[in-house]
Amino acid sequence: MSRGTISVCAEVCGGGLMSEHRLRGVLESGTPGVGEAAPDFELPAVIGGVRQTLRLSAYRGQMNVALAFYPFNWQDASAAQLISYQKQRPRVLETNSEIVAITVDSIMNTVSWERAIGPFDFPLCSDFWPHGEVSERYGVFRKGDQNSEDSAGASERAVLVIDRIGNVVFRRSYPRDLAAPVDEILAVFEKI
């Protein structure tokens, strides 16, 4: 990765760049970093209460996409995050963009949760089987943490924004108990 790519990301991300050391580690591990192509995937999803299959490449050339990874359903921070995304959906659509939420919980668990707190007009995807495969491919899957075993086997709370071409233009992780702010995603959408 060149320093030019890091500088461009700092401008696009509004200074929300992970450290150069961590970014290099992500790139060396084979996960997509800023400026690299986002790997395609296909996952079961629920959109407005209807089960479907979502393929990331369906958005390529059409719109920008924010992949919003969250650890589990039925968490206060996850509910607050997704409810805020739904409230700001008109603004997201105005930027010709979409938010795709992804959890490691099963699709049936996700359907039940969406019925309890939704409906949501954006996709809620299940990365349950093979467990966490997409989260791992994107470098946000927690395999184990000596300080907190309850986070093993879940994704981090993280957002990656992918432009229409299919490249990652923004990447950030958040504390597990803090909702990833929709305003930050909107700011990136408006700049690309």
CB 189 within 8 A of CB 97: yes
Query: Mean pLDDT over all residues of the chain?
Result: 86
pLDDT of residue 30: 67
| Phi, psi dihedral angles at 5 (to 5 degrees) | -65, -40
- % of the chain at pLDDT higher than 90: 76
- % of the chain at pLDDT higher than 70: 80
For the stretch 97-155, pLDDT in tens is 999 999 999 999 999 999 999 999 999 999 999 999 999 999 999 886 545 556 678 99
Q: Is residue 24 over pLDDT 90?
A: no
pLDDT of residue 150: 60
Q: Where are the domains of the chain?
A: 36-191
Q: Is residue 15 over pLDDT 90?
A: no
pLDDT of residue 143: 84
pTM of the model: 0.82
CATH class of 36-191: alpha beta
